[in-house]
Amino acid sequence: MNRLALPLFASLLATASSQAFAQSTVTLYGVADEGITYGNNVGGGAQWAAASGTMSGSRFGLRGEEDLGSGLKAVFNLENGYDLSTGKLGQGGRMFGRKAYVGLTDARLGSITLGRQYDPTVDLVQGITGDGVFGAFFTTPGDADNNDNSIRVNNSVKYTSPTLAGFTFEAMYGFGGTAGSISSGNSIGAALAWSNGGLNIAGGYLYTKNDTLANASSGGFINDGSLVTAGYGVAPGSFQTAHAAISYAFNKFTVGARYSNSQYKTYMQTAVFNDTEKFNVVSGYVAYQFTPALMAAVNYGYTKASGAQSANYNQVSAGVDYFLSKRTDVYAIAGYTKANGSTLSADGTSVVAATANVGDYNNASSNGKQVLGVVGIRHKF
């Protein structure tokens, strides 16, 4: 009997091991997005340039999971951003600057992940805004409210609930890592989303503290190179944003609207920045699916800045996207922004006239008006 039991046990063990390894998966994925842009009033003249990541940030990544049994899985995600035009790393030269986390997930209890991650408003709100349709052309000038996910949160712990009755909830805490203080340089975020058929509603909040410009868990404030926000993030302070959005899909139409309130606060007051700078944004879009392969959309946004300085930005954008296959599409997008009022210089030391910026692009206008257009191709793998 022992002669039979030993081979049987070994066979079962080998089978179990084989099944366990079969439940572990690693996937390589990515996006290659490149186009040609035209912008007027850039450095005092017109500019033609290559542009990487217009519709979707160019990236490649590894994600994987291992089945630990009883519905529990270990998960990880490492995602690199890059400039397809030059081959340079994105996100300040970080190897995995877009995402880098590991955690546990359970279909009944939700997931907990640790590392460098998007905040909850990006996860649950951004996707139903115009930015989720046509990218940075349809977002706030200078990405003043993080609608185009300029911020990633370092040193963070995030909980994501399972979806129950259409509701999904996320909460995040980012550690500042300052000895003797649990709050110095920390980040806090939460968001709630609800979906039912074609209706989606979501809202969220993010707060990041940057006491010394070196300890912020966000790794720094929003700064896409434009004067919309640059002068408000060069000194220690804090940034917070509250964001709400709604979208509804019916027939071949999708319509959406959003509102955000963002605040930049300095901890080192100067003659030109001695008050909280507030950005209030309202925006809406309409998209129409002509065929399964062809989609077009228009977006309008109004941004009002007030507090330390006062400015307003009117922006209208339109785009067409055509899929050549499930993974490859070609697109054309154009935007126009008109700016009025005043803002701070890039170093935050003086008051200057507000300049136009179409969405989240760093080729900002040299005056209060800008037209920006792009034609490009995107491939997902």
The amino acid present at 119, given as its one-letter code, is D
The amino acid present at 233, given as its one-letter code, is G
In this prediction, residue 184 has a pLDDT band, given cuts at 50, 70 and 90, of confident
The whole-number pLDDT of residue 9 equals: 38
Span 49-77, mean pLDDT?
95
Question: What are 203-254's pLDDT values in tens digits?
Answer: 999 999 887 666 666 655 666 667 899 899 888 889 999 999 999 999 999 9
Tell me phi and psi for residue 107, to 5 degrees: -60, -25
CA–CA dist 99, 115 (Å, integer): 8
CA–CA dist 198, 23 (Å, integer): 34
Specify the higher pLDDT residue, 92 or 162: 162
CA–CA dist 370, 45 (Å, integer): 11
* pLDDT at 201 > cutoff 90: yes
In this prediction, residue 379 has a pLDDT band, given cuts at 50, 70 and 90, of very high
- Please give the torsion angle defined by the CA atoms of residues 56, 62, 68 and 69, in that order, rounded to the nearest 10 degrees: 50
The share of the chain scoring above pLDDT 90, in percent, equals 75
- Whole-prediction pTM: 0.88
- Asked if residue 241 lies in contact with residue 262, where contact means CB atoms within 8 angstroms, the answer is yes
- Asked if residue 367 lies in contact with residue 227, where contact means CB atoms within 8 angstroms, the answer is no
The whole-number pLDDT of residue 2 equals: 42
The whole-number pLDDT of residue 225 equals: 64
* pLDDT at 285 > cutoff 70: yes
Q: Where along the chain do its domains lie? A: 118-375
Phi/psi-derived region of residue 212, left when phi > 0, alpha when psi is between -120 and 50, beta in every other case: alpha
Strand 328-344 relative to strand 369-380, pairing: antiparallel
For tokens 């792009």, name the residue: 374
Strand 59-69 relative to strand 72-81, pairing: antiparallel
Range ranked top by mean pLDDT from 11-25, 100-114, 167-181: 100-114
* pLDDT at 52 > cutoff 90: yes
Q: Is 118-375 assigned to CATH 2.40.110.10?
A: no
The amino acid present at 118, given as its one-letter code, is Y
CA-to-CA dists, residue 151 to 98, 195, 222, angstroms:
9, 25, 7
The whole-number pLDDT of residue 176 equals: 87
- Residue 58 tokens, joined: 């160019």
Question: What are 246-276's pLDDT values in tens digits?
Answer: 999 999 999 999 999 999 999 888 989 988 9
In this prediction, residue 14 has a pLDDT band, given cuts at 50, 70 and 90, of very low
